[in-house]
Amino acid sequence: MQNNTFSTLFVGQNIIKLKEVDSTNNYLKNLASKSEPLSEGTVIMADHQLAGRGQQDTIWQTEPGKNISASLFLKPGFLPIQKQFYLNMAVSIAISEALSAFLPNAVKIKWPNDIYYDGKKMGGILIENSLSGSSIKSSVIGFGLNINQAKFLAELDLKATSVFQILHKNVDLQLILEKIFVYMEKYYLNLKTSKYSFLNEIYIKQLLNFETPARYKQNGRVFEGVIKGVRENGILAMEINGEIHDFSFKEIEYIHTK
């Protein structure tokens, strides 16, 4: 563990930097399972992830040394299980606002927690909670962000983007991490003081295609829908042909238009 000088109270104050690892989330979960207590705010960073994962075990590919692959350890024992999606909101807001500080336009959140810019994916978040009774014992929050990657595989080129592709220059990863940690701590402390309505309001405001017609796919069927909101449990509420339909995670797929 290394002590850092980030301007935070606890997020990122203890950081472990690795050259290569299968998954920062897996590494952090193994570390947290050891008998020695792990301090809240500990971060695992890797230059290269061999098996970075997204939602439902989709693989997240990244170019070594050019992007951010990290996992954060939190202990939100104050958060009831039925409100755990608010942690997702807090983390998603933090990352989108941190990245927006470096870019000409606002970064958006594609429900539930993908990070988008100008219709293209810039990163993703994977939160794995350890439960204890009716509350969350600990959370491992993994995030992968395209920062200085100049090119993507052909099949991803129309769907993915990076800070480098937008600004046409490299950005100091340390500066972006500093901003992410500051915002992570800010919104986590808002969550700790039960500011659920506040978090929901910001999350909705940053949500990609909120109140905007867009095309989606479900079981091979393409349709147009308008996102109307997100329920407390994270279910997406969408209007289709004048009727409200609810969708769980991974039930529908956003169709890229670029």
Question: What percent of the chain shows pLDDT beyond 90?
Answer: 83
The pLDDT of 169-192, averaged and rounded, is: 97
Question: What percent of the chain shows pLDDT beyond 70?
Answer: 93
Q: What is the pLDDT of residues 15-47, one digit of tens each?
A: 999 999 999 999 999 999 987 889 999 999 999
Confidence label for 118 from pLDDT (cuts 50, 70 and 90): very high
pLDDT of residue 158: 83
Instruction: Sketch the domain layout of the chain as residue ranges.
Output: 2-205, 213-254
From the number of C-beta atoms within 10 Å of its C-beta (0-12, 13-18, 19+), residue 73 rates as buried
The separation between the first and the last C-alpha atoms of the chain, rounded to the nearest angstrom, is 43
The predicted model scores a pTM of 0.92
pLDDT of residue 8: 95
**C-alpha radius of gyration, the chain, whole number:** 18
The pLDDT of 103-132, averaged and rounded, is: 96
Alpha helix stretches (DSSP H) within the chain: 24-33, 85-100, 163-167, 173-192, 196-205
Asked: is 2-205 a CATH 3.30.930.10 domain? The reply is yes
The pLDDT of 176-189, averaged and rounded, is: 98
Q: Is the pLDDT of residue 122 over 90?
A: yes
Q: Is the pLDDT of residue 191 over 50?
A: yes
* Cα–Cα distance for residue pair 46/21, rounded to 1 Å: 7
Sheet harboring 213-218: ordered strands across? 243-247, 236-240, 221-230, 213-218, 253-254
